[in-house]
């Protein structure tokens, strides 16, 4: 499956990204099929080949989540912005607390059985 994503090419403390077309399993930095533009997050400037991106999207390539959101901002594609799934720390802590309580109950039952 083809994917349109960002490949970092900037220096240290100076991020700069190429918009590249790659195979989904291939690394973005080296084995890309075509360079479709570039993006500078410091200036928030996205320069892309609109016709080529639309062509590859029609063929079946899918953009990464962050690139999809930038393309929606620029008006190149239509749709809603995508959100990454976030896991709340409280839910994890509550789940750990429940597991600890269950483990204590099981361990106390086991010690009581061993005493008898």
Residue whose tokens read 């912005």: 81
Residue 99 belongs to what domain range?
Answer: 86-116
pTM of the model: 0.68
List pLDDT tens digits, range 11-46: 999 999 999 999 988 887 888 899 999 999 999 999
69 & 91 share domain: no
| CATH number for 34 | 3.30.1320.10
Q: Are residues 63 and 90 in the same domain?
A: no
Kind and range of the H or E element at 38? strand 32-40
Q: What values do phi and psi take at 103, rounded to 5?
A: -65, -40
Q: Report which of 62, 15, 11 is spatially closest to residue 38, judged by C-alpha positions.
A: 15
Span 68-92, pLDDT tens digits: 999 999 899 888 888 877 777 666 6
Q: Is the dihedral of CA 18, 7, 15, 57 positive or negative?
A: positive
Number of structural domains, the chain? 2
For residue 56, is it within any domain?
Answer: yes
Give the span between the Cα atoms of 70 and 63, in whole angstroms. 10
The span from the CA of 62 to the CA of 53, in Å, is 10
Q: Does the pLDDT at position 7 exceed 90?
A: yes
């Amino acid at each position: 499956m083809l994917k349109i994503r960002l490949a970092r090419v900037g220096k240290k403390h100076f991020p700069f990204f190429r918009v590249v077309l790659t195979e989904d399993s291939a690394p973005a930095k080296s084995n890309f099929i075509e360079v479709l533009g570039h993006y500078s997050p410091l200036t928030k400037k996205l320069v892309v080949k609109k016709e080529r991106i639309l062509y590859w999207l029609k063929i079946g390539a899918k953009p990464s989540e962050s690139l999809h959101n930038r393309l929606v901002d620029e008006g190149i594609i239509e749709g809603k912005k995508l959100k990454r799934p976030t896991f709340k720390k409280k839910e994890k802590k509550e789940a750990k607390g429940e597991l600890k309580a269950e483990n204590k109950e099981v361990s106390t039952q086991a010690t009581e059985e061993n005493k008898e």
